[in-house]
Amino acid sequence: AGVGTRSRRYAESEVNETISRFHEDYATIRREFIMRRMMDREGGYYWRIE
């Protein structure tokens, strides 16, 4: 359903595309994932954390 495995890094464009399938304001949702420590980011790449 959502963004996949923890070991894979995703380009910001991939994250945006995935989120936009479910919500039009993908930037806010993406920021919430970061703030809630569900994802981390560096240099335009994102990955899942637990």
How confident is the prediction for the chain on average, in pLDDT? 91
Question: How high is the pLDDT of residue 7?
Answer: 77
Cα distance between residue 37 and residue 24, in whole Å: 21
Q: Is the pLDDT of residue 1 over 50?
A: no
Strand order across the 39-42 sheet? 10-11, 45-48, 39-42
Cα distance between residue 27 and residue 6, in whole Å: 20
Two tokens, residue 8: 């894979």
Question: How high is the pLDDT of residue 50?
Answer: 75
pLDDT tens by residue, 13-30: 999 999 999 999 999 999
